[in-house]
């Protein structure tokens, strides 16, 4: 992945030579996944945040459907356990 500098005068070259690994060329990508987070070349994480929101809604709906007859205290405990992720607290 190639990150474009914010200051256009610091660009050294517009194209780069082909990088190879075991005689097979490596491709340049616009995004890649690192530690389950999607990193874009534009430093935008909007798509990653939307993905996290969708998974949160999915987990919450599964809990509501499976435990609909449980008390509110049990539902709150389950939500805190399965839906609140410490790794995504920074998002």
- Kindly state whether residue 39 falls inside one of the protein's structural domains: yes
Q: CA dist 58 to 30, 62, 72, 83, 91, Å?
A: 27, 6, 19, 9, 18
CB 3 within 8 Å of CB 42:
no
Taking the complete model, does pTM exceed 0.85, yes or no?
Answer: no
> pLDDT tens, position by position, for the chain (91 residues)?
556 666 767 777 777 777 888 888 887 778 888 777 778 877 777 888 888 888 888 888 888 899 889 898 988 888 888 777 655 555 4
Q: How many CB atoms lie within 10 A of CB 86?
A: 6
Domain interval for residue 26: 8-82
- Kindly state whether residue 58 falls inside one of the protein's structural domains: yes
- Kindly state whether residue 1 falls inside one of the protein's structural domains: no
- Kindly state whether residue 91 falls inside one of the protein's structural domains: no
- Kindly state whether residue 90 falls inside one of the protein's structural domains: no
- Kindly state whether residue 2 falls inside one of the protein's structural domains: no
Total domain count for the chain? 1
The residues that bridge with 37 in the sheet, in sequence order, are: 34
- Kindly state whether residue 27 falls inside one of the protein's structural domains: yes
């Amino acid at each position: 992945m190639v990150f474009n500098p914010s200051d256009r005068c610091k660009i050294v070259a517009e194209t780069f030579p082909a990088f190879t690994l075991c005689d097979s060329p490596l491709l340049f990508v616009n995004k890649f996944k690192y530690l389950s987070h999607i990193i874009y070349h534009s430093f935008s994480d909007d798509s990653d945040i939307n993905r996290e929101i969708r998974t949160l809604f999915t987990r919450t709906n599964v809990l509501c459907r499976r435990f609909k007859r449980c008390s509110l205290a049990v539902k709150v405990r389950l939500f805190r356990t399965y839906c609140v992720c410490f790794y995504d607290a920074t998002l």
